[in-house]
Amino acid sequence: MLVEERRQKLRDLISTHGFASLQDLARKIDVSESTIRRDLEHLHQMGYLRRTHGGAVWNQDGAPLPPLEERTGRQLEEKRWIGELASSLIQNGDTVLLDGGTTTLEVAREILGTGKRVQVVTNSLPIAQMFAANPGSDLVVLGGYVYPRTGVALGSSTMRMLEDLHAHVAILSVGGITQEGLFNSNLLLVETERAMMRRAERVIVVADHTKLGRRALTWLCALDDIDDLVVDDHVTAETRDWLEKAGIRLHVAKRACGYTT
C-alpha cells in the first residue's frame, strides 16, 4: 500500500469514528504500530487530527485541504475524462456556476476548449484566471474570504453575492459520497455550495471514483438534492446500483472520450 493511500485510510477511519486507538488502526490497516505512529504524527502536523495518548482524535474544526497543486495530479486522467463529459452537458448561452476544486478545474478547461459561449460565475481564483482572458465568455467572480492554499472564496460575503444571481447549471465537486448523501471537507465550503445549489436550475456533481463510498467532515446534502453525477468508469457495480436507485442521472466517463449515461 502506498503511503498516501495508507494515510487516506487513516483519515477515513478516524473521521468516521471520531477517535481510534493505535492498536485498532494498526490491525485494520495491517501495518506496524510504529508506522501508524509516524503517519499520525504527519497528519497531526497537517492539522487533520490531534494525537492523544494511545491514538488520535479527529479535528472537528475542519481538516485542511492539501494545496491545489498537490491535489491536481491525483487521478488526473480520470478527472480529465469527467471534465470532458461534464462540459458536454453545458449548452451555448448557459450561465454556469463553478465551485473550486481540481475536478471542476478540468471541467473549466474543457468548456474553454470547446469554444462554447457561456457566462461563468465562480468563487475559484484559478478558474476565474482561466476565463478572464477568454473573449468568448462572460465572467463573474464571487468575492469573500479566500480559503488558504485553495484560492476559493467562501463565507457570508460570497453567499450574499449569490442571492441576486440565477444560473442554468451549478457544477460542484465534493469530498465524499455515500448512501447518506454528499460530504465536503469544510463548513464554509458546504455553506457556499448549498447557496450555489439554491441559485441553479440544475445541479451537477463531478467526482472521481476515490470519493465514492467515503465521507468527509461535513454533510452537504442528500443524494436526491442533486440532478446529475459525473464519475469515471472505475465506479463499482454495487455503487452504481445505489446511486441510480437514489434517482440521480448517472454519467460514467471513459477513456478516449467515450461515456455512458
Q: Report pLDDT digits (tens) over 139-161.
A: 999 988 887 667 889 888 898 99
CB atoms within 10 A of CB 7: 19
Q: Are residues 45 and 75 in the same domain?
A: no
pTM: 0.72
pLDDT for 257 beyond 90:
no
Identify which of 230, 246, 242, 218 has the alpha carbon closest to the alpha carbon of residue 58.
218
Contact by Cβ (8 Å): 29, 20 = no
Q: Which domain covers residue 46, as residue numbers?
A: 3-58
Q: Are residues 25 and 73 in the same domain?
A: no
Q: Report pLDDT digits (tens) over 1-45.
A: 688 788 888 888 887 777 788 999 999 999 999 999 989 888 876
Q: Report pLDDT digits (tens) over 70-96.
A: 444 456 788 999 999 999 999 999 999
Asked whether residue 63 is assigned to any structural domain, the reply reads no
Q: Report pLDDT digits (tens) over 120-132.
A: 999 999 999 889 8
CATH number at 10 reads: 1.10.10.10
Q: Are residues 152 and 224 in the same domain?
A: yes
CATH number at 216 reads: 3.40.50.1360
Asked whether residue 212 is assigned to any structural domain, the reply reads yes
Query: How many domains does the chain contain in total?
Result: 2
Domain limit, last residue, from 39, 58, 77: 58
Q: Are residues 207 and 143 in the same domain?
A: yes
